[in-house]
Amino acid sequence: MCRNIRCLHNFEPPTTDDEVREAALQFVRKVSGSTRPSRANTPAFEQAIDEIAAATRTMLDQLVTNAPPKSREQEAIRGRQRHEKRMEREVRLRTGSA
């Protein structure tokens, strides 16, 4: 999965429409291979973002869980820790000190 797309399910406070749209934008960018569409492709790009955001919002609203809500701050800390471990592994691989 694209590392820029974050989990949006089961947060307190709940995921905002802006967060859903940002995830849809990242998805469309990844799938299209373009961060900025040409003028000719902008309508298709925007329509895809709108449709994916709507489908994502519908899905998030319908998901059910018994797990306690997650904290954005705690998830950010975990994400940074995963990133640091990944970078350490890459450095070890490059330097041959596995």
51 and 96 inside one domain: no
Whole-number Å distance between alpha carbons of 19 and 25: 10
Question: In the chain, what is the greatest distance between 2 CA atoms, to the nearest angstrom?
Answer: 50
Domain shared by 9 and 55, yes or no: yes
**Based on the domain organization, do 35 and 82 belong to the same domain?**
no
pLDDT digits (tens, 9 = 90+) for 42-84: 999 999 999 999 999 999 999 999 999 999 899 889 989 999 9
Considering the domain architecture, whether residues 74 and 61 belong to the same structural domain is answered as no
Are 80 and 56 within one domain? no
Q: For residue 89, give Cα distances in angstroms to 19, 82, 85, 93, 98.
A: 31, 11, 6, 6, 8
Phi then psi for residue 11, to 5 deg, are -115, 155
pLDDT tens profile 7-37: 899 999 999 999 999 999 999 999 999 999 9
pTM of the predicted model, to two decimals?
0.76
Q: How far apart are CA 62 and CA 91, in angstroms?
A: 42
Residue 86 confidence (pLDDT): 93
Q: Give the count of domains, the chain.
A: 2
Domain that holds residue 77: 70-98
